[in-house]
Amino acid sequence: MTFPPSPRLWLRGQPVGTHDGMAPSIMAIINRTPDSFFEGARQFDDVTALQAAETALAEGAQIVDIGGVRAGGGPIITVEEELRRVVPFVLRVRELFPELLVSVDTWRAEVAREVAAAGADLINDTWAGHDPDLVSVAAENGIGIVCSHTGNMTPRTDPFRVTYPPTSHSLPGVVVDVLDTLRASAERAVQAGVDPRSVIIDPTHDFGKNTWHSLQLVRHTHELASVGFPVLMALSRKDFVGETLDLPPHERLEGTLAATAIAAWQGGRVFRAHDVQATRRVLDMVAAMRGDIPPQRVTRAVR
C-alpha cells in the first residue's frame, strides 16, 4: 500500500524539496553546543560548524537546523549565551550559503526574535509552545514554525514513567494524543498569522515518550500525514533507536535509516538528520519505489 505524502513545505514563499518537490527534504543538524548526546554533532567551534553547513548542502540538505542548547539536562544556558551561540552563526550561514534554508531550534521567544532578524526561515520549537509568544514571533516575521509534542514536559527534562490512556479509537493512546495536540497547535499557529504552508508538525520522538511510544509513532506516520500539514520526522540516532537495538549513539545509523524508510514510505515530508548523504539516498530510493520520482538512469536490459 502506498500512502499519500503530507503537504509540501513552503519557506521564503517558495516550495522546499528535491525532484520538483516529489522527494522528502532533509533538515541537517548543527549543534552549537559542546555536549550534544551524539559526539558527531558537536559543532561548538565556528570553523567546524561552517564546514558542517557546507557539507550538508553538498550532500543534499535543503535546511540546516541550528541549536544552541542541548535538549537534555545539563548546565543552565542563559538567553544571552544561547544568542551568542546562534545569532552570529545564522548571519554567517545566510551570507556564505544563501541557498540553504535556516532553522533555529529554540523554545524562547527572545531568541526567536533575534534569529528571525538575522535571517532565519524557520523556528523549530521542540518544546511544544512552552513559550506561547513563539508563534507570534514567527507570524510577525513571516517565517515558519515547527509544532511539536512533548506530553506537557518542560524544556530540558527527561520523561519518567510516561503513560497515555487507552482510547475508544483503534489507534494507540500516544498516537491519538499526538494527533490531537498537533492539530490544535498547528491551528493556533495559523490563527496567529503563520502561513499554513509553513507550519510543520513533529511527533517529537523520545520527548515525553518511551521507546514503545516512539515506535508506535513511526508505525503510524501515515496518520500524521493525513492531518494536513507537512510532517517533520526527527529520528536521527535517538534513544528509541538505541534502546530497540541496544546500541550507543555512534552505532545507531542503520536503525535510524530503517525508521526513516518506513516513515518516508508513509508520507513523512522533512527528515531531521545527522547523516545527510545516507539519509538522502534512502529518501530518494523510497521515493522511487513509491513511484514519486524516476530512477536517475536506466540502462540495464534496455540496450
What would the pLDDT profile of 8-21 be if each residue is shown by its tens digit?
999 989 999 888 88
Q: Which three cell numbers stand for residue 4?
A: 499519500
The CATH number linked to 173 is 3.20.20.20
Does residue 279 have a pLDDT over 80? yes
Among 28-37, 146-155, 185-194, the range with the most confident prediction by mean pLDDT is 185-194
User: Is pLDDT of 44 > 90?
Assistant: no
> d(Cα 276, Cα 59) in Å, to the nearest integer?
6
Please answer whether residues 206 and 238 qualify as being in contact, where contact means their C-beta atoms are separated by less than 8 angstroms.
yes
User: Could you tell me where the beta strands, DSSP code E, fall in 58-97?
Assistant: 63-67
pLDDT value, residue 303: 75
Across the chain, mean pLDDT equals: 95
Q: Evaluate whether residue 220 is within a structural domain.
A: yes
Average pLDDT estimate for 108-114: 98
Question: Which stretch of 39-53, 55-69, 109-123, 141-155 has the lowest confidence by average pLDDT?
Answer: 39-53
Q: Which residues are catalytic?
A: 238, 272
Look at the chain and report how many structural domains it folds into.
1
Q: Which of the four pLDDT bands, split at 50, 70 and 90, describes residue 166?
A: confident
Task: Output the pTM of the full model.
Answer: 0.95
Whether residue 36 lies inside any domain: the answer is no
Question: Beta strands 25-31 and 232-234: pairing type?
Answer: unpaired
Residue 211's domain comprises 105-290
98: cell is 544563501
pLDDT of residue 302: 86
- Is 31 a domain residue? no
**Residue 91 domain-assigned?**
no
pLDDT of residue 43: 81
What distance in Å separates the CA atoms of residue 109 and residue 116, rounded to the nearest whole number?
Answer: 10
Question: What is the distance between the alpha carbons of residues 272 and 154, in angstroms, rounded to a whole number?
Answer: 22
**Residue 40 domain-assigned (yes or no):** no
Share of the chain above pLDDT 90, in %: 84
Residue 13 counted as domain residue: no
For residue 270, the surrounding DSSP H or E stretch is: strand 270-273
Residue 9 gets which letter from DSSP?
Answer: P
Query: Is there a domain that residue 53 lies in?
Result: no
**Within a domain: residue 222?**
yes
